[in-house]
Structure 1
Amino acid sequence: MFRAAGICVAVLIACLSPAAAQDAAFLQIEAHPTLRVAEERAQQYEVQQGNVVGFRLPSGWYALALGPFDGIDDANVVRQRLRAEGRIPSDAFATDTTGYRTQFWPVGADILTELRAQRTASDGLLTPPDLTTDTLPALPEVALDPAATSTQEAFPAPLAEPEPEPEPEPQETLPEARRSESLLSRDERAALQIALQWFDFYNAGIDAAFGPGTRNSMAEYQADRGFEATGVLTTRQRLQLIREYSDELAALGMELWRDETAGIEVQLPMAMVQFDRYEAPFAHFSERDDSGVRALLISQTGTQATLFGLYEIMQTLEIVPVNGARERQTNSFVLTGQNDTLRSHTFAQFRDGQIKGYTLIWTPERDEQMERVLAMVGDSFATFGGAMPDAAGQASAVVRRDLMSGLEVRRPEHSVSGFYIDAVGTVVTSLAGIEGCGRVTIDEAYTAQIVMRDAALGIAALRPLEPLVPMAFAQFLDTPPQIADEVAVAGFSFEDMLTRPVLTFGTLQDVIGLNGEQNLRRLSLEVMPGDSGGPVFDRRGAVVGMLLPRTDDTARVLPDDVNFAIAADDIRTALMQSDIDASAYRGGGAMTPAMLTRTAADMTVMVSCWN
C-alpha cells in the first residue's frame, strides 16, 4: 500500500495550492519511514550531487529534497533536467515548505527558519518606522462623558466601517476539474486515494489510478460534504480532502517510535500516548491528556512455548476484555477484546528466538479513530536488534499472579481441574466446579461449552469452541483397580497461581464408598479444592477415576486424607451414552514418576469459572 511507501500527503497541500508558487521551493526526491535509512540515503545523494536537505514529515516519515529554489517553476526546471539525466526518481516532485517539519539533514541546520526570516525581511517587517512623537499624526479631540463609569464608556469606540464582502470564489467547471486533475503526479493521485480510504469512502487498493471505485468514492465524499457528486474533485475539494486528512493525522500525532531497548519500530499516536516506563517484557505508554488511549510494546526472548504462554496469560489481563476474537497461529497470535468501557488489540510474533508485538487499549468513543490507527500501527510494525533484557525496569515473568509487569490481572471466580478425553480437546471435569458460571474456559485461554451433564455422577463434559489438539488424552481403566495400589491425582491445587498441574500421590483404600456406593473409589491422599475434577492415575498411567470435591458438612467431617473419585468405567459409560467417545486402557507397563508427571501435565487442564 502507498501508506507504507512514503507518500508525503501533507506536502501535497502545498502542491495543490496555487499560492505556494510564490515561496521558496524544494524538489522532493524520496521519503523513508525510518531516520536511519533516510540519513544513509542523504549521505549517498550528498556524495553524488550535493545540495541535499532532509525534513521530518507530519506523518512521521523522513523526506529528502534538493534546494531551496526561488519558486516551484525553478524547482521544476531542475526536476526535468535531473530526471532526463536519470539522477533522481521519476516520481520526484516540486513543493513548497508547507508540509516540512524539523530538519534532520544536514545535522544542526535549520533552513526553514532562515527562509522565514528572509521572507519577513523582504516584506519590510524587520525595520519598523521610527514611531516618535514627531512622526505620529495628531489625534482628533474626543469629548469625555463626565458620567461615564468605565473606560469603555469614557472613550466610546468609533463606528467601524463595514468590511466589504469578499467576492465569491469562482468554482471550477467539470471540464476544468478534469484538466486540473490530469496535471496531478502519481503520488498526488495516490495521496487522494489514501485520504478517501482514511475516511472510509474508498476500500480498494492504492494504485493511483482513478477507476470506477475511486470515482464512486469521490462522489460519496462530495455528497457527504455538500458538494455536487460529479465523481471528479475540483482543486478546492482536493485541497479540502487532503487538509482534513492532515488535520486528523496531526490530531493523532502519528509518529515513528524507534525503541532501542525493545528492538521495535512502530507508528504510535503520540498526541494520545506518552512513554511511561519499562517493565520487562513490556514498554508502557500511558494516556496523554485524558485521551483514554494506552499502548504496550512487547519484547522478550523465548520459544514457541513462551509465545503460547503469553497468549494464555494476556487473556487474564484486565486490558483484554473477555469478549473478542482470538486467533493463535504457529508463530503469532492476535487478541481482541471489548466491553462497555474498554477495547484492546494485541499482536505478537515469535521469530529468531524473540517474541515481539504490541497492544493498543482505548475507550469505545475512539473506535472509529483507532480502527484507522491500528492499520497504520500494523503496517509500520518492524523489529530489529535484540529483545528487551529482563533487567529493563521492574522485570517480571509471565506467571499467573495478582500483577504481571505492572498490569492488573483479571482472575476467575474459581478454578478446578479437568482432563482431555479425546483428540479434539473434549474435557471431563467436576460438575460442581462449573455450575452457575457465566463463562467457562480451558486453561484460561479457550472458551468452552458444556456438552454433557450427569448430576448423579457429578461429572460434566466440555468442548472448546475451537478444536484443540492435546498432547495426550485419557485411557480409562475398564476393570476394577487393585485395593492398596499406589495412585496419583493430577490437578491445579493452587488454581490459577501456577501454569502446570501438581501431582499428589497416595493409595487406593477401597473400590466402594463408605456407604457401599459401587461407583466410588475411596482414596487415601490429601488434596485441595482446585484438584477436584482432576484425573486419578494408577502406576501405569491408566485413569481409574475423577476426583470429586469434598462434601463435608458441620455434622460430619472426614479426615483430610479421605477423598473420593467417581469410577472410570462409570465415566466412560456416561460419556458414550451421550455420543462422546472415550478410549479404554490399551495396556502397558508401569511408569516412572517422571514419565507419569509428563503424561499428567499433557492431559490435565485448568477449568475456570467466570462471572
Structure 2
Amino acid sequence: MIRTALIAVFLFLAALPARAQDSWWVQIAARPTLSAATDFAREAATQISGIHGFYLGNGFYAIAIGPFDRSEADQTRSRLLNARAIPSDSFVKDSRSFDQQFWPIGGAITAPAVALAPAPLATATLPDETPREARASESTLTRDERELLQTALQWAGFYDAAIDGAFGRGTRAAMEAWQLANAAEPTGILTTRQRADLVAQYNAVLTALDLQTTTETAAGIEMLIPKASVVFTEYQPPFVKYEASSDAGSERVLLISQAGDAAQLRGLYEVMQSLDIVPVEGERSFWADRFVIEGRDENIISYTEANLSAGEIKGFTLVWPSDDLATYQRLRREMQASFARLTGTLDPAIAPPSEDQSVDMVAGLAIRQPTFARSGFYVSQSGHVLTSYQGLDQCSRITVAEDLMMRIEVIDEDLGLALLTPPTAQSPRAVAQIDTAVPRLRDRVAVAGFPFGGVLADPTLTFGTLADLRNLKGDPSQARLELTAQPSDAGGPILNSKGHVIGMLLTTEAQSQQTLPEGVSFAVKSADIAAFLTTAGLNVAPLEQTDALSPVAQTRLAADLGVLVSCW
C-alpha cells in the first residue's frame, strides 16, 4: 500500500518514450479483482505520475509505474523505496507478462511526466475500519480464508504456530507484529484492507513469476511454470528443458518423462545426483516408487522429485538462486500442487542425436566435474588407497571410484604421499604387492593411471623405462623414469614386469619450477612407500613370487589395483 498518511516525498521521474514493448516497469501492487485494482490505481495516480494498470493473464491485475529503460526503472524503484512511497516488495519487471491495459481508463501508455520542480505528494488519510468493525468483518471469513491469513503471516516471519484457522493469542500477536512492521496501529485485529495487503504481499512473489499452467502434451505433464523466469528451450529425453530467460540467470525447470520400471527409476535417481545442477549437499530419499533429491550450494538451490506409476516415470526439477529462498519455497509448493500426469511419455526419438553430444553430459545437462582428478591404488584389504598428496589439502571432499567418499588418514609432505581411508571397510579385487628390492636400471616399467582424467572407466598402462635411481637433483628418495605421463597419472603405481609395485608416480609440478622435456617423470621409491604404510599401521602384503605377467594379465591387474581419485 502506498504510504501517504505519515510522510510526504519528492519524486523526480524522467520522461521516456511511451512504448509498452521492450520496456521496464516498477510494479507496486497486484490485486485479484478489476475493481480493487482500479481503486488502487486511482488512489496511486493522485500521488505518483506514470501509474498504469495491466491484466496479467493469471487472474491478477498489476499496478505499475513506467515505462522506463532498465536502469531508469531500477533507479526509480530505489528512490521511491528510500522515500517509503511504495511498498517494500515492489519490484522491476519487463512488459512481457502485461496483457490488456485497464488504467488509465481508455488511455494510452504514457511515460511519467518530467517534474520541472520538486512537488511534494499530498498527504492523504485513507478510510479504514475501527477494531470493532474489523472484528465484525473478520467473523465472516471462512476457515480457508483464516488459514490463508495464518499462512501469509507465517511466510512473512511473524507466525510459527499451527495453521488451523483459530485466531488465538499467537495469531493475534502475529497480526500485531505485522501491523507494527507495516506502520499501522497495532490492534492485533487486521482490517479488511490490511488483510488484503497481507495476502497481496504473500502473493506478490507469485505474481512477479508470471506462473502459467503449461500443458506439455509430448511429455504427458501439466503444471505451473514461472514464465517470467524460464523459457522453453528443447526436448532432450527424458527431459523437457526450460532455461533461464536472462543470460545471467540460474533459474531452470526440467520436466521428467519416460517409460520405465523400478530399475530405471533407480538409475534416474543416481544420474540426477551426478548433474551439475544438483549440488552435493542436501537430503536424498528413495522409495520403491518415487524419489526426492534436494541440493544447495552458494549459488543454487535444487529440488527434484519423480514418481513411477503404471510403467511411467514422471516428475520435475526446479533450480533457483540460493539467495532467493523465500521465492523458491513458495514456487516449489505451487509447482508440486499443480503437477498433473497426462497420458503418454516423452518419445526418445523426439530429439535426434546432434554433434553437441558429450560424455560429460546427460541429455544436454552437464555432469558435475571434480576440481582435478588423479590416480591411486589399493594398499590394504580393507580399501585404503595411496595417492599423491599435492593439492589434496584444498579439496572439500575426496572420492575414489567415482562416488566413494574418502578422508585423508596420513600424509608425508616430503615424500608427497597421502593415505586415504574409506568410511567403511571395502573389498578391493587386488592389493599392491610392494617390492622393496633395488630395481635394475633400464628395466621396463609401467604406470597404471588415468591419463584422460576418468573419461575411461579403467586405468590405462603407460610403459616406460627406469632411467635413474635418483631425481635430477640427486635425491635418492625418488627415481627418474623415461615415461610420458599425464597430470592425472600422478599417484598411480609403477609396476615391474611381475606386477609388483616399485614406486608411485609423482606430479612433475612438485619436482621442478622449470618445464621438463617430454618423457621425464619421477616416482617415490617402493622402500619409502613400505615404511610410510608401516608407520600408518598397515601391513605390507608379502610378495608372491611369479613369472613376468603377460600384457593381458598386466592390464587385468591394473584394472583391479588402480582407482580414480577425484578432488571436489
The answer to whether the Cα contact below 8 Å between 1:263 and 1:388 also exists between their aligned partners in 2 is no
Q: For residues 445 and 286 of structure 1, what CA distance do their matches in structure 2 show? A: 28
Q: For residues 524 and 430 of structure 2, what CA distance do their matches in structure 1 show? A: 15
The answer to whether the Cα contact below 8 Å between 1:262 and 1:297 also exists between their aligned partners in 2 is no
**1:295 corresponds to:** 252
The answer to whether the Cα contact below 8 Å between 1:427 and 1:462 also exists between their aligned partners in 2 is yes
Q: For residues 146 and 479 of structure 2, what CA distance do their matches in structure 1 show? A: 77
Please state whether the residue corresponding to 1:177 is helix, strand or coil. helix
The equivalent position to 2:458 in structure 1, one of 501, 513, 521, is 501
The equivalent position to 1:200 in structure 2, one of 143, 153, 157, is 157
Q: For residues 587 and 306 of structure 1, what CA distance do their matches in structure 2 show? A: 43
The equivalent position to 1:308 in structure 2, one of 270, 275, 294, is 270
Q: Does 2:351 align with 1:399?
A: no
The equivalent position to 2:411 in structure 1, one of 453, 470, 478, is 453
Q: For residues 189 and 596 of structure 1, what CA distance do their matches in structure 2 show? A: 71
The equivalent position to 2:433 in structure 1, one of 477, 486, 498, is 477
Q: For residues 495 and 212 of structure 2, what CA distance do their matches in structure 1 show? A: 57
The equivalent position to 1:337 in structure 2, one of 292, 297, 313, is 297
The answer to whether the Cα contact below 8 Å between 1:532 and 1:547 also exists between their aligned partners in 2 is yes
Cα 1:201/1:343, change in 2 over 3 Å:
same
1:297 Cα deviation from its structure 2 partner: 0.5
The answer to whether the Cα contact below 8 Å between 1:194 and 1:206 also exists between their aligned partners in 2 is yes
Q: Does 2:386 align with 1:428?
A: yes
1:251 Cα deviation from its structure 2 partner: 1.8
1:173 Cα deviation from its structure 2 partner: 2.2
**1:169 corresponds to:** 127
**2:375 corresponds to:** 417
Q: Deviations over 1:154-174 (max 9, x none)?
A: xxxxxxxxxxx9996352324
The answer to whether the Cα contact below 8 Å between 1:452 and 1:461 also exists between their aligned partners in 2 is yes
The answer to whether the Cα contact below 8 Å between 2:410 and 2:420 also exists between their aligned partners in 1 is yes
Equivalences for 1:233-272 in 2 at 5 Å? Answer: 233-272=190-229
Please state whether the residue corresponding to 2:270 is helix, strand or coil. helix
Q: Deviations over 1:420-476 (max 9, x none)?
A: 6679986432134x2785766436878876553313322124568xx5776638634
Cα 1:471/1:543, change in 2 over 3 Å:
farther
The answer to whether the Cα contact below 8 Å between 1:343 and 1:362 also exists between their aligned partners in 2 is yes
- Structure 1: gaps spanning 5 or more residues: 1-10, 21-55, 60-164
**2:491 corresponds to:** 533
The equivalent position to 1:491 in structure 2, one of 449, 452, 472, is 449
Aligned AA for 1:370?
A: Y
Equivalences for 1:591-602 in 2 at 5 Å? Answer: 597=556, 600=559
Cα 1:346/1:232, change in 2 over 3 Å:
same
1:494 Cα deviation from its structure 2 partner: 0.9
Q: For residues 336 and 382 of structure 2, what CA distance do their matches in structure 1 show? A: 33
Aligned AA for 2:134?
A: A
Cα 1:548/1:267, change in 2 over 3 Å:
same
The equivalent position to 2:321 in structure 1, one of 359, 362, 365, is 362
Please state whether the residue corresponding to 1:239 is helix, strand or coil. helix
Q: Percent identity?
A: 28
Q: For residues 59 and 192 of structure 2, what CA distance do their matches in structure 1 show? A: 22
Q: For residues 318 and 550 of structure 2, what CA distance do their matches in structure 1 show? A: 44
Structure of larger gyration radius: 1
The equivalent position to 1:513 in structure 2, one of 464, 469, 473, is 469
Q: Deviations over 1:316-354 (max 9, x none)?
A: xxx67x8x734555555333222xxx4342436585785
The answer to whether the Cα contact below 8 Å between 1:299 and 1:388 also exists between their aligned partners in 2 is no
> Number of paired residues?
442
Q: For residues 424 and 346 of structure 2, what CA distance do their matches in structure 1 show? A: 30
Q: Deviations over 1:254-290 (max 9, x none)?
A: 2343434445544332222222223445433244477
The answer to whether the Cα contact below 8 Å between 2:241 and 2:255 also exists between their aligned partners in 1 is no
The answer to whether the Cα contact below 8 Å between 1:278 and 1:394 also exists between their aligned partners in 2 is no
The answer to whether the Cα contact below 8 Å between 2:435 and 2:501 also exists between their aligned partners in 1 is no
Please state whether the residue corresponding to 2:374 is helix, strand or coil. strand
Equivalences for 1:312-327 in 2 at 5 Å? Answer: 312=274, 314-315=275-276, 325-327=281-283
**2:565 corresponds to:** 606
Equivalences for 1:51-450 in 2 at 5 Å? Answer: 58=59, 169=127, 171-174=129-132, 176-288=133-245, 292=249, 294-297=251-254, 299=256, 302=264, 304-305=266-267, 307-312=269-274, 314-315=275-276, 325-328=281-284, 332-338=292-298, 342-347=299-304, 357-362=316-321, 364=323, 366-378=324-336, 380=338, 385-387=344-346, 389=348, 391-392=350-351, 399-400=359-360, 414-419=372-377, 427-432=385-390, 434=391, 437=394, 441-442=398-399, 450=408
Q: For residues 379 and 479 of structure 1, what CA distance do their matches in structure 2 show? A: 64
The answer to whether the Cα contact below 8 Å between 2:281 and 2:295 also exists between their aligned partners in 1 is yes
Q: For residues 355 and 419 of structure 1, what CA distance do their matches in structure 2 show? A: 41
1:359 Cα deviation from its structure 2 partner: 3.8
1:370 Cα deviation from its structure 2 partner: 3.2
Q: Deviations over 1:491-549 (max 9, x none)?
A: 221125x1623331759979x93689987688887643321112456899886653334
Cα 1:355/1:588, change in 2 over 3 Å:
farther
The answer to whether the Cα contact below 8 Å between 1:547 and 1:565 also exists between their aligned partners in 2 is yes
With the length of structure 1 as denominator, give the TM-score of the two structures. 0.55
Aligned AA for 1:504?
A: L
**CA RMSD in angstroms, aligned pairs only:** 5.5
**2:100 corresponds to:** none
Cα 1:178/1:225, change in 2 over 3 Å:
same
Cα 1:173/1:529, change in 2 over 3 Å:
closer
